[in-house]
């Protein structure tokens, strides 16, 4: 799958991924009214709102981007109806030819990790395998070491899926653990070495592993260091846009060919209409709200191209 992701980045000329992380306050009022009139003030209505919102954004930007990244927690908070919207969103994105990165940040050991790995490996029932979650990559927490990673490597190797392992995250508090010194080096460097080791077991034809790393845009110095340390590991880069990261911060994240990363923006794209002067706020805007997302993707693409 890493080869397909890189092919899509080359095809679109855009290393951007749209984070589909909807919140109730982002949903335009006309969608909220339609769904509550149909389904009442219920989780079912919210699930339908989220899917309608996501679908409009995907339709507006699918020709510009290689991938989307839905964050499962935004959907889980509304129970089964939210999860249904998550799965339908992933399925629709795939229908539009997009790679789907499920931001689930799972991590555990033994049979529990094996169960989580069904997100990309599928669920087997009486000899038949069901791809229930419609994800091509997922994010994984490495805190359990190889015991928590091994079950995810199997679908990477056997089913051409992929994972992105948390290495240096974009949040301000990441240094409390990730920057702690271990034998004279920050912990994130030791994790990076492990990602290299694990990734060597699942190399793609493109020279990058199906095992990638999450490296935040808000730590440009560390990003350069980690690119040198992990030359064959593809980076998923959060922290662009609303968290403060910009294209100029990412020059050292790219490889010599202008590849090696895919950069996430969530609120900056899906809620763009709320800040675009040409669009009304959530109470007045109509279906044209998704055009603001398209503008935001184009601006991000240009910013990243300038960095390359």
Distance CA 53, CA 51 (A): 5
Distance CA 139, CA 48 (A): 25
Q: Cβ(39)–Cβ(294) under 8 Å?
A: no
Tens of pLDDT, residue by residue, the chain (308 residues): 999 999 999 999 999 999 999 999 999 999 999 999 999 999 999 999 999 999 999 999 999 999 999 999 999 999 999 999 999 999 999 999 999 999 999 999 989 999 999 999 999 999 999 999 999 999 999 999 999 999 999 999 999 999 999 999 999 999 999 999 999 999 999 999 999 999 999 999 999 999 999 999 999 999 999 999 999 999 999 999 877 788 999 999 999 999 999 999 999 999 999 987 777 666 788 899 999 999 999 999 999 999 88
Fold (CATH) for 2-13+99-307: TIM Barrel (3.20.20)
Identify the pLDDT of residue 224: 96
Region of residue 257 (left: phi > 0; alpha: psi -120 to 50; beta: else): alpha
Identify the pLDDT of residue 281: 66
Bridge partners, residue 129, by sequence: 124
Identify the pLDDT of residue 123: 97
CB atoms < 10 A from the CB of 126, how many?
A: 4
Known catalytic membership, residue 105: yes
CB atoms < 10 A from the CB of 286, how many?
A: 11
Catalytic residue among 55, 96, 105, 246: 105
48-99 pLDDT per residue, tens: 999 999 999 999 999 999 999 999 999 999 999 999 999 999 999 999 999 9
257-294 pLDDT per residue, tens: 999 999 999 999 999 999 877 776 667 888 999 999 99
Q: Write down the pTM of the prediction.
A: 0.96
Nearest Cα residue to 162 out of 174, 154, 173: 154
Identify the pLDDT of residue 43: 98
Which SS3 state, helix, strand or coil, does residue 160 take? coil
- Residue with the two structure tokens 């070491």: 145
* Cβ neighbours of residue 297 closer than 8 Å, sequence gap 6 or more: 14, 16, 18, 61, 64, 65, 269
Identify the pLDDT of residue 243: 77
Domain positions in the chain are 2-13+99-307
Phi, psi of 21 (to 5 degrees): -120, 65
- How would you classify the pairing of strands 235-237 and 211-215? parallel
Torsion of CA 275, 276, 282, 287, to 10 degrees: -150
Q: Cβ(6)–Cβ(57) under 8 Å?
A: no
């Amino acid at each position: 799958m890493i080869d397909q992701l890189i092919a899509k980045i080359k095809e679109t000329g855009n290393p951007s991924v749209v984070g589909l992380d909807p919140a109730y306050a982002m949903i335009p009022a006309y969608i909220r009214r339609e769904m509550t009139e149909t389904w009442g003030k219920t989780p079912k209505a919210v699930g339908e709102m989220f899917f309608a919102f996501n679908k409009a954004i995907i339709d507006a930007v699918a020709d510009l981007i290689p991938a989307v990244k839905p964050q499962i927690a935004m959907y889980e908070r509304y129970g089964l109806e939210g999860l249904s919207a998550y799965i339908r969103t992933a399925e629709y994105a795939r229908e539009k030819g997009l790679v789907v990165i499920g931001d689930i940040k799972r991590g555990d050991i033994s049979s529990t990790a094996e169960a989580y790995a069904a997100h990309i490996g599928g669920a087997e029932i009486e000899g038949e395998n069901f791809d229930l979650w419609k994800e091509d990559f997922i994010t994984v927490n490495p805190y359990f070491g190889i015991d928590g990673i091994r079950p995810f490597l199997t679908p990477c190797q056997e089913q051409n899926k992929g994972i992105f392992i948390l290495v240096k995250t974009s949040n301000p508090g990441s240094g409390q653990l990730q920057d702690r010194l271990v034998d004279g080096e920050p912990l994130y460097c030791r994790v990076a070495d492990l990602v290299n080791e694990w990734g060597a077991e699942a190399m793609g034809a493109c020279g990058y592993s199906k095992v990638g790393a999450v490296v935040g845009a808000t730590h440009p110095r560390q990003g350069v260091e980690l690119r040198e340390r992990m030359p064959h590991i593809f980076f998923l880069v959060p922290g662009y846009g609303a968290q403060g990261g910009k294209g100029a911060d990412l020059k050292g994240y790219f490889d010599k060919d202008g590849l090696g990363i895919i950069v996430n923006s969530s609120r900056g794209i899906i809620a763009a209409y709320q800040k675009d002067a040409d669009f009304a706020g959530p109470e007045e805007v109509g279906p044209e709200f998704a055009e603001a997302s398209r503008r935001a993707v184009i601006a991000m693409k240009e910013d990243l191209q300038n960095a390359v």
